[in-house]
Structure 1
């Protein structure tokens, strides 16, 4: 028997503490009615419960939102009901005024009432509001699909035969294919290439790369590019103590190849393009040198190739953006341009490959984009219109009213484009398309473009129809020019044809050719294409009818005022006017009926939505309650048990404290 440590008393004391803590926990749960009062009570349960609570509150608010939406709809529908009543009265008056038993005084009296009714329709449209938001004035109507400058739509992605795209003239005098005023387009810039996993910066300067088309060959460009990249590699190795091998850049068989000097990294990367024309006009596919304030040089389409696949990963050391060089086995090499401070020029070694794709239509961020693919010479306005049929209203934009007028596949680009030319010819510039200056054989010819008439191309025709139209205008200008100059100075007629999606103009003297492209405004005026842009309106209203993002119902209410309904100009002062008014009012009644029907359908949908939301919230609340709420009867039982155990442990502690006193009997 020991007396320094009373082990039974210590054990009893510990158990008493446990029982008292359990009793206090039970009392806390009974006091709040919650099984979880702090995270320690049930960590996982608390997390699940809070997520459910967020959903429940969201569903409850969504239900209230739907109810508010119904109130808005009922407000608008009530206003349109009155508009309906007014239109019915107007139709009754129009029918009355159509009867010739009425004299002028009678019809004037009828017209006075009609005028008041029209004003009331406008007043209802202008003043009907819900929470200060106007409802039937068109401000929450469907946004009309923007009209399209047809030349721009019909020509997206069609240009295939360009060698140089300039904002100014393309001069081919004296048989020299020299692109004037281009050197200023190449600004000093810093480029980046990834070699053996290392990002190498190299410089491209105006003085280092001559940009005159007639002087720039594939070999000279390859030599310059190789020297600049390898200088960047040397600087990288010096800075980081690495041993990245030099690259070799070669030009052969119409391609530029960049090859790493590392062992095994032998997948030469190339971009190919057919070389056409004379005077060493080397067209480097995908080489795009541009500046915001100068001209630009563009190559034609080509394709990327790679020789072999051994150790390609040695080159693939960086994240690659979309649209860059792609190896056939999926690996990628990135060459990106980063302009130096103060400069806006860039060089992108990239290209696209023509695939004969058909026209496509897509909607991204509310913008309708129509791309004609690469079937350049056969696409027509009819192809465009077929793309938008059946789109209907999407996100409040009514694409079913999309309109394309005019004709044809027409290449669009700012400025004049030349394609592998010889001889002496200059294409027209960027002036207003009504009158342009076309220089042929060094002679400036003022061409007045004729308006599209009854004998000119019509909707659905292809580019060939327009080629004749342009040829006639140019040759008419040449004839006028020849009448004013000596015989030795006269200019031969030109022929206009379609090649690779462009209008190709050929001189009658020395067969010089020029591929002419117009910008949007020029094409519209030249071909008589009307810009059908519609006034931008609202895109409807959205009702948030769910607890999460994107769970919405969209509602549009069109303009229900007199002008939009077509009754603003109703005149019953004559029998003929009264008879015509009957049809106009019938159409207005039909428009209001259609809008009211739409409102009723959305209201019914919202009522079903509310019922579903309430059901979801109820069941989710039940699930959350099972996690969070306490079972009162069971917890009372637990508290009673803990109280009894606590009292028992106190009694046993008293007994344990008395036990060591038995030692005194041994001393007696």
Structure 2
């Protein structure tokens, strides 16, 4: 073979292989020290792009879990306050039942009951005004919160409490158990004898406000109309909350027709009154027959009306608490689902991004041995050229 001095091909070959081995050793050390298979885009360009997308999802889902837990806290805060609201309403109902016992109570006793009722109403309003989460009122009827429960836009759950939970919002601010039934407080015009002319039996009922036909007038119709053994509790008539006075009057007349079969109709009077018109007695009726055709109105006692109002308030609070409880259960399921998603996405990202330490250690050991062997062979290759000196002696 030829002996050359200017170019030691064997040494160059050993150096090239040693350089490659050193580069691989550096990468193995970097992976082993960082725990990542991909430390720069050059390590795996496609894998880096995929793993960064997965990281965005994982980070967003982790924040979404915390957001959902905030939703649980909001619901628990509101529902916890309503627990006490329920207790207060139940106590008010107990007091109202006690106040209804007219045969065993005098006026002073009812005033004492009403005194406690007033304090309880004030506490209902205080709880509604002071129940907040991070400075935001929850029970004033205006709360509407949206919680981001996903990593992407639009993945939200809404919590809405649209009913004010104070005494006014629940419709119990006006309860007064000291009021007694006043009988037929309205003006009644009716035929009173068999020889009387055909005069319709009418009852004029004053509303609580002075403006005739307003929606709040209908809400203050508390009492019972009676005709020929049939009765209608006017406070039981349902009205559309958005309906005007004309639509409410139609609803009232529908309720009258359903009860009295068309014998009684309602119309607006003057000065905030309602005029209920009964059937027209015909000539030739006896006094007894005529009496059955007379329309009467009996005003509810304070305790009777209070029971209805408090029962309605209890139903409202029960419905709200049930809705909040359902939302909390939904939030709990959402958290469980998010945690599963985080777990699975993290596993996927780990397979792409993280280093297999055992495999990488095998590779590092191989490169370490090759580096040592390459260094030794480079030294041998450099020594090979010195054989030329024996020819020059």
Regarding TM over 0.5, the answer is yes
Of 29, 49, 65, 1:47 maps to 49
1:640 matched residue in structure 2: 365
Is 1:67 paired with 2:98? no
Is 1:113 paired with 2:116? yes
1:13 matched residue in structure 2: 15
Tell me the secondary structure at the aligned position of residue 327 of structure 2.
helix
2:179 matched residue in structure 1: 574
1:249 matched residue in structure 2: none
CA deviations on 1:380-432 (whole Å, 9 max, x unpaired) are xxxxxxxxxxxxxxxxxxxxxxxxxxxxxxxxxxxxxxxxxxxxxxxxxxxxx
In terms of Rg, which structure is larger?
A: 2
1:99 matched residue in structure 2: 101
- 5+ residue gaps in structure 1? 141-539
Q: After TM superposition, give the deviation of residue 662 of structure 1 in Å.
A: 2.2
Tell me the secondary structure at the aligned position of residue 168 of structure 2.
helix
Contact 1:107/1:574 (<8 A) preserved = no
Residues in 2 aligned to 1:667 and 1:587: alpha-carbon distance in whole angstroms: 119
Structure 1 segment 125-164 matched on structure 2, within 5 A: 125-140=128-143
Of 167, 172, 185, 1:562 maps to 167
Tell me the secondary structure at the aligned position of residue 91 of structure 1.
helix
Residues in 1 aligned to 2:176 and 2:9: alpha-carbon distance in whole angstroms: 111
1:3 matched residue in structure 2: 5
Structure 1 segment 348-427 matched on structure 2, within 5 A: none
Q: After TM superposition, give the deviation of residue 655 of structure 1 in Å.
A: 1.2
Residues in 1 aligned to 2:392 and 2:160: alpha-carbon distance in whole angstroms: 103
Tell me the secondary structure at the aligned position of residue 172 of structure 2.
coil
Q: After TM superposition, give the deviation of residue 626 of structure 1 in Å.
A: 0.6
CA deviations on 1:335-354 (whole Å, 9 max, x unpaired) are xxxxxxxxxxxxxxxxxxxx
CA deviations on 1:10-29 (whole Å, 9 max, x unpaired) are 11101101101111111111
Tell me the secondary structure at the aligned position of residue 121 of structure 2.
helix
Q: After TM superposition, give the deviation of residue 664 of structure 1 in Å.
A: 2.8
Residues in 1 aligned to 2:165 and 2:13: alpha-carbon distance in whole angstroms: 86
CA deviations on 1:200-254 (whole Å, 9 max, x unpaired) are xxxxxxxxxxxxxxxxxxxxxxxxxxxxxxxxxxxxxxxxxxxxxxxxxxxxxxx
Q: After TM superposition, give the deviation of residue 661 of structure 1 in Å.
A: 2.1
Structure 1 segment 241-640 matched on structure 2, within 5 A: 540-557=144-161, 558-575=163-180, 576-640=301-365
Contact 1:27/1:639 (<8 A) preserved = yes
RMSD between aligned residues: 1.0
Residues in 2 aligned to 1:613 and 1:600: alpha-carbon distance in whole angstroms: 20
Which has the bigger relative contact order, CA under 8 A and spacing at least 6? 2
Contact 1:84/1:592 (<8 A) preserved = yes
CA deviations on 1:177-219 (whole Å, 9 max, x unpaired) are xxxxxxxxxxxxxxxxxxxxxxxxxxxxxxxxxxxxxxxxxxx
Of 645, 652, 656, 2:381 maps to 656
CA deviations on 1:348-388 (whole Å, 9 max, x unpaired) are xxxxxxxxxxxxxxxxxxxxxxxxxxxxxxxxxxxxxxxxx
1:28 matched residue in structure 2: 30
Residues in 2 aligned to 1:549 and 1:541: alpha-carbon distance in whole angstroms: 16
The count of aligned residue pairs is 269
Q: After TM superposition, give the deviation of residue 666 of structure 1 in Å.
A: 3.1
Tell me the secondary structure at the aligned position of residue 157 of structure 2.
strand
Q: After TM superposition, give the deviation of residue 665 of structure 1 in Å.
A: 3.1
1:278 matched residue in structure 2: none
- 5+ residue gaps in structure 2? 181-300
**Structure with the higher fraction of residues in helix conformation:** 2
Contact 1:546/1:552 (<8 A) preserved = yes
Residues in 2 aligned to 1:659 and 1:35: alpha-carbon distance in whole angstroms: 40
Q: After TM superposition, give the deviation of residue 70 of structure 1 in Å.
A: 0.7
User: Runs of at least 4 residues of structure 1 off by over 6 A?
Assistant: none
Contact 1:49/1:627 (<8 A) preserved = yes
Q: After TM superposition, give the deviation of residue 112 of structure 1 in Å.
A: 0.4
Residues in 1 aligned to 2:74 and 2:322: alpha-carbon distance in whole angstroms: 15
Tell me the secondary structure at the aligned position of residue 169 of structure 2.
helix
Q: After TM superposition, give the deviation of residue 98 of structure 1 in Å.
A: 1.1
Residues in 2 aligned to 1:623 and 1:595: alpha-carbon distance in whole angstroms: 42
Q: After TM superposition, give the deviation of residue 132 of structure 1 in Å.
A: 1.0
Tell me the secondary structure at the aligned position of residue 33 of structure 2.
helix
Q: After TM superposition, give the deviation of residue 592 of structure 1 in Å.
A: 0.3
